[in-house]
Amino acid sequence: TLPKDQQAEHAHGVITRGLGVVEKMLEKCAGKFCVGDQVTLADCCLIPQLGNAYRFAVDLSPFPLIQAVEANANSLDAFRQAHWTQQPDCPPELRNNSA
């Protein structure tokens, strides 16, 4: 286990590297979503991970395909309703009423 003062930096690096790998994979298969123009399990796995990217202030600008997939997913009610800030156990101060 890393010391507490190193955890955020470590998470930032791991997330950035992971998203770089995903971006490279999406170059070969992305459409509106991760694999073509229909939602797949890949989208259901990617979108929640972006919550961690935001949590650790990862710059997503180097990942335009990921950003496009996220925008398309967030245009769907199912993804907006599944967002962690919309869940009944989300603390009120973290709730996002606009999602």
Instruction: Give me the residue label for tokens 């790998």.
Output: 21
Q: How many residues are listed for the chain in this entry?
A: 99
pTM, to two decimals = 0.88
Q: What is the pLDDT of residue 97?
A: 56
pLDDT, position 99: 46
Q: Give per-residue pLDDT as tens, 46-69.
A: 999 998 999 899 999 999 999 999
Tokens found for residue 4: 């507490």
Per-residue pLDDT of the chain (99 residues; tens, 9 = 90+): 889 999 999 999 999 999 999 999 999 999 999 999 999 999 999 999 998 999 899 999 999 999 999 999 999 999 999 998 899 998 888 876 544
The alpha carbon torsion through 30, 72, 37, 28 (nearest 10 deg) reads 0
